[in-house]
Amino acid sequence: MKLDGSSMIKKVGFILGPIIFFILHFSNQELISADADSVVGVAIWMIIWWITEAVSISITALIPLVIFPLFGIVDIKTVSASYGNHIIFLFFGGFVLALALEKVNLHRRIALNIIKLTGTSPDRIVLGFMIGTALLSMWISNTASTVVMLPIALSVIEILRRDVDGYSKKDRIFALSLMLGIAFSANIGGTATLIGTPPNIVMAGFLEEQYNIEISFFRWMIFGVPFALTLLAISYIVIVKWIYRSNLGTLSGAEEYIESELSDMGSLSMREFKVLIVFIFTVILWIFKSPIELVLPFISLSNSGISMLGAFTMFCITHDFSKGEMILQWEDTKRLPWGILILFGGGLALASALADVGIIDMVGETIASIDGVTVSIILVLLVSVMLFMTELMSNVALVAIFIPVVAGIAIGIDFDLLYLCIPVTVASSCAFMLPMATPPNAIVFASGYIKVFDMVKVGVILNVVSIILIILAASYLIPWVF
């Protein structure tokens, strides 16, 4: 049987990863030190498996939990603590809140109403879908927000197919811009909040675990929302007003379709209302945590604690009290992406080991010793490398690998960790060029309305715009906020 290239790469990666670890662990020639060589070996093993996807990226994240204790590198009690880090429960709570929104179909109602508000001319329809998708992606996964918006968008495109001139060239351009708008805004929306996308949580967890630096939910939003809005606006202009101008006239039937969908949903149900109240209450606690603690000094709030309070409440709200039915049942958690939580733990475990054996400090000292390298040059290089690498591999895995190194560089050049770590983390969510870069890109590509070149054509421009915008945010916005 003939092996395709992807299968061969996976097989080579599957064998090569552990071989490199065993060579470094059992070698009599120490490169750094015995412990450091072993940790580097595990890091290389994980990187190879993450890049080649030899096994699931979540299974790869279990390597520290298995290998570190087995070979006496780190004891099981220490390494397992990373997999139960409180920052993981912040994201778990966020997952549960999103699950409740999806279960009662509240996210679809929100999306339809946003599209209705923005209008139903062709350009305004794209704008409405982009705003709606980005808003949902602030709170639920970018995959879920794309899956919600895609069927609605496909129904709007179907209206074009049924009009008098058939499916014309202008119609195809509109469909293309709509698909790209949904995918790109799903990626952008996640940068606005701390729980919007997994890389944000990985970075926040690492900084708090290793350097006792806590990033509050509110401060991240002060930075993230303006950044996301700016990038979203630029993306809209690039897609709709520049690269793919459809020049369509009035889209007859679109307004009627949106009204029909909302009419079919009926008025806000009691289940939706209860979920909405808990969701708003949780967001208010996240945003106004510090003032609330001043007014109510007998309580102690944390981002993770608030997240778990919201999740716990969702499981305790009754739908039908007489029957003992709750809005969320434990069975609903089958749909939660548990593998992402394990991935967080593996990233934290690896980062902790790299720090303990001095690898991170060594990287920083090496960079600092290079003459003529300014902070600005380092920032541009790091952001650019992260942004284009995330086109090819999981951004969560990439951040787990890259952020400890970035932290070491920041320490080595005596620069604030946040000014380097935040821009690099945000860059990991700005993958616009390739269908395989993010789940939203892949989902809209599968619709059949986009070719790879179509995405690359816009993606290259937005990647460059993202780099410029991230550098500007690092220079002016981050110092002001943090």
Q: Is the per-residue pLDDT at 2 higher than 70? A: no
**pLDDT 10s digits, 108-128:** 888 888 888 887 788 888 999
User: Is the same domain home to 118 and 22?
Assistant: no
Q: Is the per-residue pLDDT at 303 higher than 80? A: yes
User: Is the same domain home to 203 and 259?
Assistant: yes
pLDDT band at 177 (very low <50, low <70, confident <90, very high): very high
Residue that has been written with the tokens 């197919």 in this structure: 161
User: Is the same domain home to 20 and 150?
Assistant: no
Q: Nearest-5° angle of CA 222, CA 346, CA 5?
A: 100
Which residue among 298, 317, 335 closes a domain?
335
- Output the CA torsion sign for 350, 354, 410, 431: negative
pLDDT band at 27 (very low <50, low <70, confident <90, very high): confident
Task: Tell me the two tokens of residue 402.
Answer: 């890259």
User: Is the same domain home to 152 and 252?
Assistant: yes
Question: Which residues form the domain of 201?
Answer: 87-335
User: Is the same domain home to 141 and 46?
Assistant: no
User: Is the same domain home to 178 and 299?
Assistant: yes
Q: What pLDDT shows up at residue 105?
A: 86
* CA–CA separation, 27 and 315 (whole Å): 52
Which residue among 313, 335, 357 closes a domain?
335
More confident residue, 355 or 332: 332
The SS3 assignment for 441 reads helix
In a domain, 234, yes or no: yes
User: Is the same domain home to 109 and 153?
Assistant: yes
Q: How far apart are the first and last CA of the chain?
A: 57
Q: How many CB atoms lie within 10 A of CB 391?
A: 19
**pLDDT 10s digits, 238-269:** 999 999 987 776 666 777 878 888 888 889 99
In a domain, 255, yes or no: yes
User: Is the same domain home to 101 and 177?
Assistant: yes
- Residues 162-173 have a mean pLDDT of 73
Q: What pLDDT shows up at residue 322?
A: 66
Phi, psi of 318 (to 5 degrees): -85, 140
**pLDDT 10s digits, 396-447:** 888 888 898 899 889 888 889 999 999 999 999 998 988 878 888 888 888 8
In a domain, 232, yes or no: yes
How many structural domains does the chain have? 2
Burial category of 28 from C-beta neighbours within 10 Å (exposed 0-12, middle 13-18, buried 19 and up): exposed
Q: Are 304 and 91 a contacting pair, CB within 8 Å?
A: no
* CA–CA separation, 194 and 119 (whole Å): 30
**pLDDT 10s digits, 54-98:** 888 889 989 999 999 999 999 999 999 989 888 888 888 888 988
- Residues 153-182 have a mean pLDDT of 81
User: CA distances (Å), 64 to each of 40, 159, 346, 362, in order?
Assistant: 11, 53, 6, 21
Residues in the chain: 482
Query: Which of 134, 60, 210, 157 has its CA nearest to residue 450?
Result: 157
Q: Are 458 and 440 a contacting pair, CB within 8 Å?
A: no
Which residue among 60, 75, 96 closes a domain?
60
* CA–CA separation, 197 and 308 (whole Å): 17
> What is the β-pairing status of strands 318-320 and 325-326?
antiparallel
Q: Are 92 and 306 a contacting pair, CB within 8 Å?
A: no
Q: Is the per-residue pLDDT at 3 higher than 70? A: no
* CA–CA separation, 133 and 155 (whole Å): 16
Q: What pLDDT shows up at residue 464?
A: 95
* CA–CA separation, 81 and 349 (whole Å): 8
* CA–CA separation, 144 and 69 (whole Å): 37
In a domain, 326, yes or no: yes
In a domain, 363, yes or no: no
**pLDDT 10s digits, 183-234:** 999 999 999 999 899 899 889 989 998 899 989 899 999 999 999 999 999 9
> Helix H segments across 323-394?
338-356, 359-368, 375-389
User: Is the same domain home to 159 and 55?
Assistant: no
* CA–CA separation, 239 and 125 (whole Å): 13
User: Is the same domain home to 133 and 231?
Assistant: yes
pLDDT band at 1 (very low <50, low <70, confident <90, very high): very low
pLDDT band at 23 (very low <50, low <70, confident <90, very high): very high
* CA–CA separation, 59 and 49 (whole Å): 10
User: Is the same domain home to 325 and 203?
Assistant: yes
In a domain, 396, yes or no: no
In a domain, 249, yes or no: yes
User: Is the same domain home to 205 and 252?
Assistant: yes
Q: What pLDDT shows up at residue 20?
A: 94
In a domain, 281, yes or no: yes
Q: Which residues contact 224 (CB under 8 A, 6 or more apart)?
A: 191, 192, 193, 194, 196, 426
Q: What are residue 326's DSSP bridge partners?
A: 318
Q: Is the per-residue pLDDT at 4 higher than 60? A: no
